[in-house]
Amino acid sequence: LTSKLPDVGTSIFSVMSQLAQETGAINLAQGFPDYDPPLPLLEALARHVLTPGHQQYAPMPGLPRLREAISQKTTRLYGHTPDPATEVTVTSGATEALYGVLAAVVQPGDEVLILEPAYDLYGPAVRLQGGVPVYVPLALPDFRPDWDRVAAALTPRTRLVLINSPHNPTGAVLTPADLDTLAGLLRDTDTLLLSDEVYEHMVFDGAAHHSVTSHPELRERAFVLSSFGKTYHATGWKVGYCLAPPTLTAELRRVHQFLTFSVSTPTQHALADVLPDSALYDALPAFYQQKRDLFRELLAPTAFRLLPVPGGYFQVADFSAVAPGLGDVDFARQLTREAGVAVVPLSAFYHNGQDQHLVRFCFAKQEATLRAAATRLQA
Ligand code: PMP
Ligand code: GLN
């Protein structure tokens, strides 16, 4: 068999989680919380699992009541009301939405612009469609896009630009000026936009998340993704959604109907029950900012150099002073084995494995976990 992705190994998230398990390390590698979803959500799921009639296929685009609740949430947060019938699609996590959008719009030979470092799925998923990833670097110290470089990378073959704010792994956050600049670059082109906003509720220091949904010009050409896994500490539920104008939504649904067809029914009912309670997601910026601040304070006495974290739930750190000369993959393995703390080497987010002596810590953990990890890191 000729592999379609011969150069792609097992995802770094699986590799590091497995190593953490084998070695008994505290897992700050793969991005998932070590606490449970809000009790009302768990109770709602239990209720719907026990409700006869809620156990069969949901409608292909998602339960109408969940799409309605998503539309209302979008109105409240971003001042735009997507039509639940034609502009909201419930997917099996943001992962399925990403793959579905790429499969729906990328033709062989199309270029897809990816800002790098980038979430590990983007490049391989583009290539599986016969697309050509075009990488534009996000540079230290703040990993903010250099729009001149983006402009220089756009060509008449650019089918799609992929953005991610707040950004995994760097935490960088786009501003309204960034969105205006991007809108200017895409104006008068046929280039589409995919905006991965799964960390929309994790923006710190009083700043706001600026969704592409709230940008009237950009949203006309955009797929905007979110994930209930992030919002409700429920990464294992694998439910997300995609907002897009009707013509784009129709194309996504053509693929979605053959990819997963529909998403688990009781989980959709449970999410529809709690989504109107805005207090649950309004609490998230402060909740995660406290974790970020605690983790940074705990790591301050170490030789790790901490990069700024304006959003998301990851801390990127330079380990040059901890282990001079060591590559990031070796360092991540050594830290896991010897210090008992698993992390992700940042080279995993580069198509060419670029190593800048950086690792990523996930701080979506209980205070006790963060303290225990810091004690090990200080030692
Ligand atoms: N995009 C980004 C940037 C992510 O970090 C993740 C989750 N790690 C996903 C997409 C996938 O989200 P989900 O778990 O809902 O499939
Ligand atoms: N998004 C998570 C991360 O960045 C992991 C998702 C996964 O394991 N596929 O760590």
Ligand nearest to the CA of 240: 1
Cα–Cα distances (Å) from 312 to 41, 223, 300, 307, 324, in that order, read 22, 20, 20, 13, 28
Ligand nearest to the CA of 30: 2
Q: Is 31 in the pocket of ligand 1 (CB under 6 A)?
A: yes
* Averages of pLDDT over each 10 residues, the chain, 379 residues: 93 94 96 98 98 96 98 98 98 98 98 98 98 97 96 98 98 98 98 98 98 98 98 98 98 98 98 98 98 98 97 98 96 96 97 96 98 95
pLDDT at 337: 95
Q: Is 227 in the pocket of ligand 1 (CB under 6 A)?
A: yes
Ligand 1 centroid distance, CA of 260 (Å): 17
- In order of their start, the domains of the chain are 12-30+283-378 (3.90.1150.10), 56-277 (3.40.640.10)
Q: Is 62 in the pocket of ligand 1 (CB under 6 A)?
A: no
Q: Is 33 in the pocket of ligand 1 (CB under 6 A)?
A: no
Contacts of 66 (CB under 8 A, 6+ apart): 90, 268, 269, 271, 272, 275
Q: Which residues contact ligand 2 via a Cβ below 6 A?
A: 11, 13, 30-31, 168
H helix runs in 154-193, sequence order: 176-186
Q: Of how many residues is the chain composed?
A: 379
Element (H, E) at 291: helix 284-299
Contacts of 185 (CB under 8 A, 6+ apart): 147, 150, 151, 154
What SS3 class is residue 231? helix
Evaluate whether 164 touches 115 at the Cβ level (below 8 Å): yes
H helix runs in 106-245, sequence order: 122-128, 147-153, 176-186, 228-231
Cα–Cα distances (Å) from 4 to 1, 127, 252, 320, in that order, read 9, 9, 23, 36
* Cα radius of gyration (the chain): 20
Contacts of 53 (CB under 8 A, 6+ apart): none
What SS3 class is residue 331? helix
Cα–Cα distances (Å) from 89 to 62, 125, 213, 240, in that order, read 6, 20, 14, 9
Ligand nearest to the CA of 236: 1
Q: Is the Cα dihedral 286, 45, 86, 247 positive or negative?
A: positive
Ligand 1 centroid distance, CA of 321 (Å): 31
Please state the ipTM of this predicted complex: 0.97
Ligand nearest to the CA of 196: 1
Question: In this structure, what token pair is assigned to residue 101?
Answer: 């959008």
pLDDT at 362: 98
Cα–Cα distances (Å) from 84 to 76, 130, 241, in that order, read 15, 32, 11
Element (H, E) at 226: strand 222-227
Evaluate whether 370 touches 27 at the Cβ level (below 8 Å): no
Count of Cβ atoms closer than 10 Å to residue 378 Cβ: 13
Please name the residue whose Cα sits nearest to atom 1 of ligand 2.
31
pLDDT at 379: 84
Q: Which of 235, 313, 349, 360 to mutate to test the pocket of ligand 2 (most atoms within 8 A of CB)?
A: 235
Please name the residue whose Cα sits nearest to atom 7 of ligand 2.
13
**CA within 13 Å, CB half, 131:** 28
Please name the residue whose Cα sits nearest to atom 5 of ligand 1.
168
pLDDT at 70: 98
